[in-house]
Amino acid sequence: MQKKIKVAEAKKTSTPEISIVIPVYNEEENIETLCRRLFKTMDAVKRSYELIIVDDGSADKTPQMLRDIFKKRSDVLRVVTFNGNYGQYVAILAGFEHVHGEIVVTLDADLQNLPEEIPNLLVKIDEGHDLVGSYRAKRHDNWFRTLASKIVNFIREQTTGIKMRDHGCMLRAYRRFIIDEVVKTRETSTFITALAQKFAGNPIDIPVTHEERAAGSSKYNLYKLIRITFDLMTGFSLVPLQVFTMVGMVISSASGIYFLVELFKKVVTHHHGYGLHFAFVFLLLSVIILGIGLLGEYLGRAYFAVCEHPRFVIRDILEKKSEKKKDKE
Ligand code: UDP
Ligand code: MG
């Protein structure tokens, strides 16, 4: 009953039913084709929609191109522009904070996933799933990217217990309440797909096509990938800290026994020699340093949560005047 009222209200205020969120960083070679293919697909679906593109501080021609596209399609397009580069996941979060639709779809800008497949996700949502994830049936990335992704997937499953076939595939659809929950968490760095999976009640994964990047190169380097893995581990689980504590306990017990043995040798046999002592001290030091690093990860997260640092600064929002008013109300 409540659902029906909501739909009626949506029609009255012309709130779009579907919101598509796309993070964009230096995608001048892809943005026009992306928008053209997306508008074509979604116009054919005959359901009201909005496209929210978050420009994650692009330094190429992307911002200007977005302004041009906005001039033509301000009926459906909204552009959120960051003042700098905050990363794909932060950009998606900013998009989530501006969605109006009851169904939210995410997609990358590089056309590795096909905009034409969005209707397949919508069918699954209509069937009653609150989250439609996707996995790359046949992946087209270089060996490094594929391997890195496999490692991250493995670590995620082991440390967080969150089961997802392919968290890196961003062509996904969500019911709005999941997105609202994700936004509410006010995380400083979030692994959106994993977080959303936690809030979903009836998720499903479907296979999707994965093509090579249409143009440009991956925006991820080794450093960014390592950062994501740390975010994932510290954001969703205490296992790394617990492992450290366990290792610390084992090592301190072993060192206690070792100390007693050495003491015994010294007192009873008057034995000399320092090689093993040094090795042991170095080992202990390395464990301590690792521990400090891990503690720093958690402290950093707690620090940002306490300070309520803004996760991003928006420089500008391009949208129709009526949308702006609606947001302020
Ligand atoms: N992206 C972003 N900010 C970044 C890096 C990437 O908004 O700092 C966007 C990028 O434009 C693309 C999506 O995130 O739309 C995925 O990036 P990419 O295709 O480079 O990642 P990969 O496919 O290699 O995982
Ligand atoms: Mg890509």
Q: Is the pLDDT of residue 242 over 80?
A: no
At 94, the pLDDT band (50, 70, 90 cuts) reads very high
Task: Dump pLDDT digits (tens) for 34-69.
Answer: 999 999 999 999 999 999 999 999 999 999 999 999
Asked if 263 contacts 226 with a C-beta cutoff of 8 angstroms, the reply is no
Least confident segment among 58-72, 224-238, 252-266: 224-238
What would the two tokens of residue 304 be?
Answer: 């940002």
Closest residue by CA, ligand 1 atom 8 = 87
Of residues 304 and 158, more confidently modeled: 158
Give domain limits for the chain: 2-236+310-328, 239-307
Q: State the Cα–Cα distance between residues 309 and 307, nearest whole angstrom.
A: 5
**Do the beta carbons of residue 173 and residue 103 sit within 8 Å?**
yes
Residue 328 has pLDDT above 80, yes or no: no
Pocket test for ligand 1, best of 25, 89, 145 (most atoms within 8 A of CB): 25
How do 49-55 and 77-82 pair as beta strands? parallel
Q: Give the atom of ligand 1 at the shortest distance from the alpha carbon of 224.
A: 8
Distance (angstroms) between ligand 1 centre and the Cα of 70 equals: 21
Instruction: Give the pair of three-digit tokens for residue 99.
Output: 């969605």
Write the class of the CATH domain 2-236+310-328: alpha beta
Over range 238-260, report the average pLDDT.
Answer: 77
Integer Rg of the chain from CA: 25
